[in-house]
Amino acid sequence: MAGHSKWNNIKRRKGAQDAKKGKIFMKHAREIFMAAREGGGDPEMNANLRLAVDKAKSDNMPNDNIDRAIKKATGNLDGVNYEEFTYEGYGPNGVAVMVTVLTDNKNRTAAEVRHAFNKNDGNLGENGCVAFMFNRKGYIAIDRSQTDLDEEEFLLEVIEAGGEELETSEEQYEVYTEPEDFTSVQSELENNGHAIITAEVTMVPTTYSQLDEEGVGKMLKLIDALEDNDDVQEVHHNLDADEEVLEKLS
């Protein structure tokens, strides 16, 4: 899974932009709505809802907004029927892309996603065309400066908590888990006093596509176009970009 840090840096870059645009709360609200509708409105009894709420809170979504989304879902609000779909395709130079959407109009969203691909040197593919290049994993990033444990000590702690793999950078420890173990591993690390930067169940690439600066610029435009769509919840990809290039293009 080497290279995930670079991929996650691109996600953080986009997350900051989405927050400035004011769209991220709406995306969180939809995710909370779906989780509550499918599994009930109690986060203690609904792991998917608990994860959605935690993600929303990490982006400073107000509690009133979170409660409103849960109440709408559990109140069987008439006229609201969101469905989740995943679209797969290729970005510039063959970068693998998976797009998760929540929509009340599949035809509209499919057309808009296809348009975003076509307009930005990509193309929408068939289901399964790139899914094999990703694994669904729990991902937890820990602020390394806030722990006294060295890498070997922390690895033992991760193993005891049920984690699957550990990667280390100067700034952080990155823990990977099986999706079903994610919540328990996160709780164990939190209980041990570690400062968690990011915690999510996501799609992690098994291989990466390296592009030059021009290619990275095109790929970032495609990501922008997709994430500007209100129905798009997540954009997963296997772009590997140097920090210097990302900084220059930000």
Q: What is the pLDDT of residues 193-230, one digit of tens each?
A: 998 888 888 999 999 999 889 999 999 999 999 988 98
Co-location of 189 and 173 in the same domain: yes
Question: For tokens 């009930």, what's the residue?
Answer: 40
Average model confidence (pLDDT) for the chain? Answer: 86
- Final residue before a domain boundary, out of 54, 74, 94: 74
Co-location of 201 and 213 in the same domain: no
Co-location of 8 and 57 in the same domain: yes
Bigger pLDDT: 19 vs 86:
86
**Mean pLDDT, range 86-99, rounded to an integer:** 96
Question: Which helix or strand (DSSP H or E) is residue 157 part of?
Answer: helix 151-161
DSSP 176-232: EE-GGGHHHHHHHHHHTT--EEEEEEEEEESS-EE--HHHHHHHHHHHHHHHTSTTE
pLDDT of residue 21: 47
Co-location of 44 and 145 in the same domain: no
Co-location of 113 and 147 in the same domain: no
Confidence of residue 9 (pLDDT cuts 50, 70, 90): low
Bigger pLDDT: 99 vs 29:
99
Co-location of 33 and 124 in the same domain: no
In the chain, % helix, strand, coil (3-state, to 5) comes to 50, 25, 25
Question: Which helix or strand (DSSP H or E) is residue 67 part of?
Answer: helix 63-74
How many other CB atoms are there within 10 angstroms of residue 68's CB atom? 14
Distance CA 198, CA 137 (A): 13
CATH number at residue 108: 3.30.70.980
Co-location of 235 and 112 in the same domain: yes
pTM for the structure as a whole: 0.78
CATH number at residue 47: 1.10.10.200
- Domain tally for the chain? 3
113, amino acid identity: V
Co-location of 122 and 212 in the same domain: yes
Could you tell me the residue range of the domain that residue 158 belongs to? 134-205
Co-location of 34 and 154 in the same domain: no
Q: Do 61 and 25 form a contact (C-beta atoms < 8 A)?
A: yes
pLDDT of residue 70: 86
Q: What percent of the chain has pLDDT over 70?
A: 88
Co-location of 182 and 217 in the same domain: no
DSSP-assigned beta bridge partners for residue 172: 143
Co-location of 49 and 158 in the same domain: no
Confidence of residue 177 (pLDDT cuts 50, 70, 90): very high
**Mean pLDDT, range 103-121, rounded to an integer:** 95
